[in-house]
A and B are shown apart, each in its own frame.
Chain A
Amino acid sequence: MRVIAAITAKDLRQRLKDGSLLLFGLVLPLGMAFLFAHLLGDGPGDGLDIRYLVVDSDGGGLGGVFVDDVLRPLDEDGVISLEEAADTEEAEHLVEEGEADAAFLLPQGFSDTVAGGDRAVIEIVGSADSAVQVQIAREIADSFAVEADASRTAVLEALEAGADETPEALSQRVREQPAPLSLVDDTTADWRELDTATYYAAGLAYFFLFFVVMSSVTGILDERRDGTLARLLAAPVRRSAILAGKSLSATIVGAAGLFVLAAVSSLVLGSQWGPLPGVAALVVSGTLAAVGITAAVVTFSSSSEQATNRISVVAFGLGLLGGGLFPVAQLGALSVLSFATPHRWFLHGLAELGGGSFAAVLVPVLVLSAMAVVTGALSLFRLGRMLNA
């Protein structure tokens, strides 16, 4: 143990002096997660920064329904930020200035036009710089239009069938009915979804983990090149202790990097990795799997440079297939291959952890541990031969 600890401590000391640790362990994954989360939808607080204006020139019932029953609840839920503008000119000016992403303009007589069966328009003024937010505004307005049309049809049909209530009373009753369909979280789904910020933070953290542990694992080839391996082999040090020391330092560096990323991404991106015991189990087993895989690649390489190139290719391949860079669902039929990657099981474990108890991560942890054992055994066998050569 003394020798293993000495080799591990020496490797860690060297890694701390190596700028690549900070780059691959923190800066790149965090920076890319931040970028992806903002580009592709979510940001801090698990939501786009959506700023809308509304100009209600209608003042009537339907316009009020749109503002009070559709937009305001979204505002209260934190999905959007809603402000009222005095008139169309002010709304257009604020959108042009970038103070708002889009403005809903409800024209004068909107309710009467709809009630009269004529075509009415909710105009949307959008910022060219906020394409996603403007599209969402269109979707909101469109949904409202569809619902309003359905309500209007229902009222008409009720009146034609001889209902003895006024059209206003019927409309009120339609509005008060709960929606027949609603979207709820599926707590029984096989793979619960991570929110965007957590997904990218965790996915990229695990993707870059391979590059973080790479330097430690390829260190044995560097030591062979630099002659220090001969010195280690000449000392009263068992070969297995050299391998154990190297693997332990790689595991410590990798796991510490993941923990730091989890903490920092939670603070900066608002990602939610889940309860600590489950996260710890996934981080440790996931890191061991990454160390085993990279070590196995090293044992098939003749130089540190060759190993680095091969590990980079493997890391990209596994990352792409396993959902480390984009969701596995986008792979279509190829998504079945993701089950062979540790990335898939790591992210799967985190998703399960978010939706259930600690027990939910047992399967991913077991799979990751099995990957670590198999690749680790292969590495030990191959490295043993390499050292004896």
Chain B
Amino acid sequence: MEKVVAVVGLTKSYGDVKVVDDVSFSIGEGEVYGLLGPNGAGKTTTISMVMGILRPDAGEVSVGGIPHGPEEMRTKALIGFVPQQNALYEDLTAVENLHFFAKLYGIPRAEAGGRVDEVLAAVGLTDRANEAVSQYSGGMARRANIAAGLMNRPRFLVLDEPTAGVDPQSRSAILEHVRALADSGVAVLYTTHYMEEAERLCDRIGVLDDGRLVAEGTRRELVTRLGERDRIDLAVDGSAGDAARLLEALPGVHAAAAKDGGVELSVDNASELSPAIVRTLAEEGFEMRSLQVREPDLEAVFLSLTGKALRD
């Protein structure tokens, strides 16, 4: 996977307070990187420096292999930005807003109209394109906000809590769209207050706390690092104790116990192990009535790392 964004040792202080402390990460082509952290952890400051809005005290950012900063227009042209606020001119229509951003990115006039139609269709706002943004619902304004970030067909897209305050239907549409963008090769930096979004969308996650990146990895890597494992609940005909003893011997099973008439297993990777469990039980004459997988909760990981819930 080609590295699109590299962040090395970013540091920023306000007075004596170090709000971002030696943060490093990278994002590859087609990868969604989730940056999670409680309020005040330094996410927005980190994003501002990654965007080139804010000059870091130390550290470097490169985009597409080019050193990036507030005055580097080549890299800025590669980045799409969806800020936390609906950063649109509310007295202008969506079309007027998007044409304005097209001009900022130097998109030729002949091409801009098609590009505006394209991004409006992508976020489902074609029918309301000529209404003032002030007339939009919260969800529509959010989608228009995302559309503005896509005008330049970015290689690197930064979304800062794009679904805050959005209804579930719009949220789902936004997540699907971000996933589709990533699948098309866009590198995505994504922050959210919703853990389920991070679990569903992000290929890798970095956890920020007090300005420092305290953990980084895939969801499974983070969970494993804290000793959390998948759980499988089985209901079988026959002796639950016998079934538990049988399954405990399988590789990848760390613990098995009869519980409430069924069997509870602690395993490394439930989805990989499930076929072997079903096969073993069938070979030994057990009839399995149900199998339920419970993956470890990322919220618990986050709580363990930061001492706070994500939405604190």
Residues of A within 8 A of B (CB): 2-3, 6, 10, 13-14, 17-18, 226-228, 230-239, 388
Contact = CB atoms under 8 A, between A and B. Distances in A.
Given A227-B85, A227-B87, A234 B100 contact: no
7 A-B pairs with the lowest CB-CB distances in the bound complex, closest first: A227-B85, A227-B87, A6-B103, A236-B73, A236-B76, A234-B81, A231-B87
Interface string B139-151: 0000000001000
A236 B77 contact: yes
A227 B83 contact: yes
A82 B84 CA distance: 74
A125 B88 CA distance: 68
Contact of A388 (B55, B84, B96): B55
9 contacts: A226-B87, A227-B85, A227-B87, A230-B85, A230-B87, A233-B70, A235-B105, A236-B73, A236-B76
A17 B91 contact: yes
Given A227-B86, A230-B87, A13 B104 contact: no
A237 B103 CA distance: 10
Contacts of B74: 236
B48 interface: yes
Given A13-B92, A233-B53, A227 B84 contact: yes
A169 to B, nearest CB: 82
- Most B CB atoms within 10 A — which of A3, A226, A228, A238? A228
Q: Per DSSP, are chain B's interface residues mostly helix, strand or loop, or mixed?
A: loop
A17 to B, nearest CB: 5
A103 B84 CA distance: 76
Contacts of B84: 227
A3 B91 contact: no
A280 B246 CA distance: 96
Contacts of A226: 85, 87, 90
Interface string B8-40: 000000000000000000000000000000000
Contacts of B105: 235-236
B88 A228 contact: yes
A236 B69 CA distance: 11
Given A10-B89, A17-B91, A237 B83 contact: no
Contacts of A235: 76, 81, 101, 104-105
A10 B100 contact: yes
B51 interface: yes
B284 interface: no
A235 B148 CA distance: 11
B106 interface: yes
A228 B104 contact: no
Contacts of A232: 104
Interface string B55-96: 100000000000000110110110101011111111110001
B99 to A, nearest CB: 9
B52 interface: yes
B57 to A, nearest CB: 13
Contact of B53 (A2, A17, A234): A234
Contacts of B101: 231, 235
A230 B48 contact: yes
B20 to A, nearest CB: 15
Contacts of B53: 230, 233-234
A38 to B, nearest CB: 37
A239 B71 CA distance: 8
B92 A10 contact: yes
Interface string B93-129: 0001000110111100000000000000000000000
A277 B25 CA distance: 61
B104 A236 contact: yes
Contacts of B76: 234-237
- Most B CB atoms within 10 A — which of A14, A230, A234, A239? A234
A342 to B, nearest CB: 30
A5 B76 CA distance: 19
- Most B CB atoms within 10 A — which of A18, A227, A388? A227
A14 B52 contact: no
Contact of A238 (B48, B71, B85, B92): B71
B89 A234 contact: no
Given A231-B81, A231-B83, A236 B89 contact: no
Contacts of B87: 226-228, 230-231
Nearest to B85: A227
A231 B159 CA distance: 12
Given A14-B91, A236-B77, A388-B55, A231 B103 contact: no
Contacts of A13: 92, 96
B104 A3 contact: yes
A230 B101 CA distance: 13
A6 B104 contact: yes
Contacts of A237: 76, 104
B106 A228 contact: no
- Most B CB atoms within 10 A — which of A17, A232, A235? A235
Given A230-B48, A234-B51, 17 more contacts: A6-B100, A10-B92, A10-B96, A13-B92, A14-B91, A14-B92, A17-B91, A227-B85, A227-B86, A228-B88, A230-B51, A230-B83, A232-B104, A233-B52, A234-B81, A236-B76, A388-B70
B311 to A, nearest CB: 21
Nearest to A235: B104
B48 A2 contact: no
- Most B CB atoms within 10 A — which of A10, A14, A237? A10
Contacts of B48: 230
A380 B15 CA distance: 24
Given A13-B92, A14-B89, A234-B51, A2 B103 contact: yes
- Most B CB atoms within 10 A — which of A13, A14, A18, A236? A236
Nearest to A241: B104
